């Protein structure tokens, strides 16, 4: 038994809004507000539209100070950074871009940014393959799972040493490893509570227009930090996974000072291919011989497929195999970049 429809589908108009409809809706809301009830609103003003449709039209188009198109490089960076960090939480991302709507950003991402990044990545791969002659296993592949027969735990690769990003200068908060770690924690309390004490300073991070940072927003969504971390300690040179409230993320553990450098590199060069492999699906995997790498771990390779979110359901993991199967591939290389000068 399905949910009752929010309106009488037979008697509502669908499709593009006419200027008259726009004018009606706009003038009414400007004068009276929404009245806290979108469902009833179209009837009040004599619009044959679904309440939800009115809401969407208002929020995405009629609302004052809405910007359309013309995304700047900086906005690109912000979107990419946040997507890498928090996944397809468009509303959170939109909150950091004044005048942009979640729908706009979502469309922009799906139609342009993703392809833009893909194009860059392909170029890079071609260049690399040309140089190498033979494609070989890359030790710094973020997806790399190396055999660790002793511990039977995934060995996450070390993040390659890369030059610091100019963006680092814009955001000193992100210049050190600790800040990155804090940020990742803040991104959802997705780590062992071992790190909880260092959360406080993160509130200093400023995002645009004085709104709460998405990181803070997300942290506030979190309920608790659980005690059953998955893979809570691997070793100091590995990416670490923690599981607290159901989300899983990767973190460079102490001793690695290169994580932020990678992030900086991604932002400064707009090369988001580090950490965005999941956009490329099978092709990407093939290109980097990830399939082979995966099987080198003694596991059958898994096509992780395209995923749109970094968020993931709770993991209750007792061994590596469980981790490997449950963990979104994004977790393996969750990287974060700061959205430029804000």
Partner DNA sequence: AAACATGACAACCGCCGGGGA
Partner DNA sequence: ATCCCCGGCGGTTGTCATGTT
Q: What are the residues binding DNA (CB under 7 A)?
A: 2-4, 6, 9, 13-17, 34, 36-40, 49-53, 55-57, 59-61, 68-69, 88-92, 102-104, 106-108, 110-112, 115, 308-309
- Residue where the block lists tokens 């990407």: 284
CB 334 to DNA: min, Å:
16
* Pick 61 or 140: Cβ nearer DNA: 61
- Residue where the block lists tokens 């970094």: 310
* Pick 33 or 210: Cβ nearer DNA: 33
CB 289 to DNA: min, Å:
27
CB 113 to DNA: min, Å:
9
Residue spans of beta strands (DSSP E) within 82-152: none
Residue 258 tokens, joined: 């290169």
Long-range residue pairs from 138-142, CB within 8 A, at least 24 positions apart, any chain: 138/288, 138/289, 141/288, 141/290, 141/293, 142/274, 142/275, 142/277, 142/332, 142/333, 142/335
CB 312 to DNA: min, Å:
12
243 pairs with which residues across the strands? 248
* Pick 14 or 136: Cβ nearer DNA: 14
Which string of b and e fits 284-304 if b means at least 16 CB within 10 Å?
bbebbbbeebbeebeeeeeeb
**Cβ-based neighbours of 25, under 8 Å, separated by 6 or more:** 45, 47, 54, 57, 58, 62
- Residue where the block lists tokens 């679904």: 50
CB 61 to DNA: min, Å:
5
* Pick 29 or 252: Cβ nearer DNA: 29
* Pick 71 or 156: Cβ nearer DNA: 71
* Pick 107 or 254: Cβ nearer DNA: 107
CB 70 to DNA: min, Å:
8
């Amino acid at each position: 038994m399905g949910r009752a429809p929010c309106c009488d589908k037979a008697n509502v108009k669908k499709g593009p809004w006419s200027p008259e409809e726009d004018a009606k809706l706009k003038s009414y809301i400007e004068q009276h507000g929404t009245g806290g009830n979108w469902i009833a609103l179209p009837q009040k003003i004599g619009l044959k539209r679904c309440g939800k449709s009115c809401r969407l039209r208002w929020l995405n188009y009629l609302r004052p100070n809405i910007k359309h198109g013309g995304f700047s490089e900086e906005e690109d960076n912000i979107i990419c950074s946040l997507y890498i960090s928090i996944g397809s939480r468009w509303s959170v991302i939109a909150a950091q871009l004044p005048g942009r709507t979640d729908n706009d950003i979502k469309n922009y991402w799906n139609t342009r940014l993703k392809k833009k990044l893909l194009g860059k990545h392909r170029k890079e791969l071609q260049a690399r393959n040309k140089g190498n002659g033979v494609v070989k296993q890359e030790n710094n592949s973020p997806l790399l799972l190396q055999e660790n027969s002793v511990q039977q735990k995934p060995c996450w690769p070390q993040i390659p040493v890369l030059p610091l990003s100019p963006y680092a200068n814009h955001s000193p908060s992100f210049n050190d490893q600790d800040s990155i770690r804090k940020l990742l924690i803040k991104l959802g309390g997705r780590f062992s509570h071992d790190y909880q004490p260092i959360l406080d300073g993160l509130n200093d991070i400023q995002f645009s227009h004085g709104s709460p940072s998405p990181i803070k927003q997300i942290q506030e969504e979190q309920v608790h930090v659980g005690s059953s971390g998955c893979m809570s300690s691997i070793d100091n040179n590995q990416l670490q996974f923690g599981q607290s409230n159901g989300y899983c993320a990767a973190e460079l553990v102490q001793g690695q000072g290169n994580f932020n450098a990678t992030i900086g590199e991604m932002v400064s060069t707009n090369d988001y291919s580090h950490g965005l492999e999941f956009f490329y699906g099978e092709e990407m995997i093939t290109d980097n011989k990830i399939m082979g790498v995966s099987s080198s771990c003694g596991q059958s390779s898994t096509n992780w497929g395209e995923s749109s979110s970094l968020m993931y359901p709770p993991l209750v993991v007792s061994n590596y195999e469980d981790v490997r199967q449950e963990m979104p591939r994004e977790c393996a290389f969750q990287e974060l970049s700061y959205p430029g000068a804000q």
